[in-house]
Structure 1
């Protein structure tokens, strides 16, 4: 007669689970899978490049593109040659890395920089504090077309050809009495400057409020 040996239910369950585990290969942890790590690294790099580059690329998609091209030392010098003897407030439209605003603050102007590139605004703010100029130099992320310029004694613009005509219309309405404008690289072609320094790419032109008035109105005055 055959004899049957009873096996506890718990032992049967364990033996079955052990058998099923033995039939399956264990997956290594994620940090031991080079393919997964490489994919994650690629996405991280692409995401980082996107975040950093977009503030520099997006101006090209605007109606009027004003790219970041740092001013030369000579350009900055020429601006303040034209503003010699002037004081008060100064605004740089498209302030970039803040170099002109810093020089204005050193020369006693209450200076402001407007810039659309968020990274450049942050950089300029940190640089102003590092140089001890943060009480005289302020930076804001702002669209110059949506900004009221009537409170500034000096307006500086490193412009491009296609923006000068609409900017002329804006300044003719907003430039305060006694205010002056320095245009760098490109002049207002149909306006007569009150002073100019013509040195190729470092050229600068100075205009006052009367420069922006219609010819017939100017002649009456």
Structure 2
């Protein structure tokens, strides 16, 4: 459903992400400082529950996050410690887990972009915005496992689809998916900042609040007049979209749409 610009701002997922990025390091730092200040020794078990309690209280009372987020903050590190003690895993399992996370999420500490997967509702809404009777080129910045591009290629085979992903494992999953589907989909393991956007009719992104101002400036420099810049969930600060579509998916996301001048 299309909404006027002034009624389509849904920043709940964006705000939750920002608040989570504040709560976790702050609660860990507070726990460390308390461990130094308090006159009695704190065991590892005490520390993880203290961190969880601080994170839960801060998220609920200070940042006004939902109660279920407070529960997640309370139990996250205690659950990790419990799993470690109960399963009694050898040390190399933790290394394997770290490498697996690195392959899945890439350099998230630098990009500040987690792995988001576009919903089927987003795919359907995007398909309705694309040309129905002539060729076009679409690029998905942060294409994840390639689901959006491959699904669109099946729905609108006259389009050409390109994906850019910085995480290695999702990129290779995308390549395999494109190979098996035999659609016009190409995926590259590359930084979005190194890829030229001038050759595309539609640029789609589902990233995070952090890169949006810089990405908007890149789009303004490189995209052709009349082409579409579409962002799932995360808007560009101080830049009103031309249109937006509220999605009836699990996160009530919004597609923000700009037609480049």
> Structures share a fold, TM > 0.5?
yes
Q: Is residue 82–residue 195 contact of structure 1 (8 Å, CA) maintained in 2?
A: no
1:164 equivalenced with 2:212 (yes/no): yes
Determine helix, strand or coil for the equivalent of 1:155.
Answer: strand
* Cα-to-partner distance string for 1:155-206 (whole Å, 9 max, x where unaligned): 0001212221111111110011331111111122423333221236331122
Instruction: Give 1:152 shift.
Output: 1.0
- Structure 1 residue 59, shift from structure 2 partner: 3.1
Q: 1:57 to 1:156 in 2, by over 3 A?
A: closer
Structure 2: give runs of 5+ residues left out of the alignment. 1-88
Partner of 2:80: none
Other-structure match for 1:70: 117
Q: How does 1:134-153 map to 2 (within 5 A)?
A: 136-153=184-201
Instruction: Please state if 1:122 is matched with 2:172.
Output: yes
Could you tell me how far 1:119 is from its partner in structure 2? Answer: 0.6
* Preserved contact between residue 116 and residue 207 of structure 2 (Cα < 8 Å): no
**Residue in 1 aligned with 2:104?**
56
Alpha-carbon displacement from aligned partner over 1:43-82 (angstroms, at most 9, x marks no partner): 65444333322123543310x4111021111122122223
* Partner of residue 242, structure 2: 194
Do the aligned partners of 1:78 and 1:202 also contact (CA within 8 Å) in 2? no
> Does the aligned pair in 2 maintain the 1:91–1:111 contact within 8 Å?
yes
| Local SS of the residue matching 2:101 | helix
Give ranges in structure 1 of 5+ residues lacking alignment.
1-40, 211-221
2:130 maps to 1:83 = yes
Give the TM-score taking structure 1 as reference length.
0.68
On the 8 A contact 1:90/1:112 being kept in 2, the answer is yes
Distance 1:57 1:204, change over 3 A: closer
TM-score (normalised: structure 2): 0.58
Q: Secondary structure at the match of 1:183?
A: strand
Alpha-carbon spacing, 1:139–1:165, altered in 2? closer, same or farther (3 Å): same
The answer to whether the 8 Å contact 2:150/2:177 transfers is no
Would you say the 8 A contact 1:180–1:206 is kept in 2? yes
Following the alignment from structure 2 to structure 1, what is the Cα–Cα distance between the partners of residues 240 and 109? 32
The count of residues paired between Structure 1 and Structure 2 equals 167
Greater relative contact order (CA < 8 Å, ≥ 6 in sequence)? 2
1:58–1:110: structure 2 CA closer, same or farther, 3 Å change rule? closer
